[in-house]
Amino acid sequence: MAGGGELVVSFGEMLVDFVPTVAGVSLAEAPAFLKAPGGAPANVSIAVARLGGEAAFVGKLGDDEFGRMLAAILRDNGVDDGAVVFDAGARTALAFVTLRADGEREFMFYRNPSADMLLTADELNVDVIKRLQSSTMDQ
């Protein structure tokens, strides 16, 4: 994480996208999938850090292998993950994503609900929030 600049904090979802190994097919027609980090707020945090900015992510992940993988991806990309909360009672969200032949994306989410939907105000890391100069939020 770069120091001395304005801190950009993204609030919202981070999930695992499963992307087909073949483009232009429906999810049902895809022969196999690759996993990738997803969720617009988390992607913004990673992009800010990769561009040399100071970024933090605020959100909730399942206390599972996918949640730990996503937190490691944030850290590996220079994003402050000190405001990430892990939930032992909920799973990390999953999404199957494909680009159809007509160019539109198709999503199928697996939430029941997932950890990212369960973040409460008392779980927020106020120290990170007090440091922010800019923020992004998912709906």
pLDDT digits (tens, 9 = 90+) for 100-129: 778 788 889 999 899 999 999 999 988 888
The set of residues, in sequence order, having a beta carbon less than 8 Å from that of 32 and lying 6+ positions away, is 20, 21
Judged against a pLDDT cut of 80, whether residue 37 lies above it is answered with yes
Cα–Cα distances (Å) from 80 to 4, 46, 55, 113, 114, in that order, read 14, 10, 6, 25, 22
* CB-based contact 62:115 (threshold 8 Å): yes
Average pLDDT for the chain: 90
User: What pLDDT does 105 receive?
Assistant: 84
pTM: 0.86
Instruction: Identify the H or E element spanning 130.
Output: helix 126-131
Judged against a pLDDT cut of 80, whether residue 138 lies above it is answered with no
Please give the domain boundaries of the chain with CATH numbers for all domains.
7-132 (3.40.1190.20)
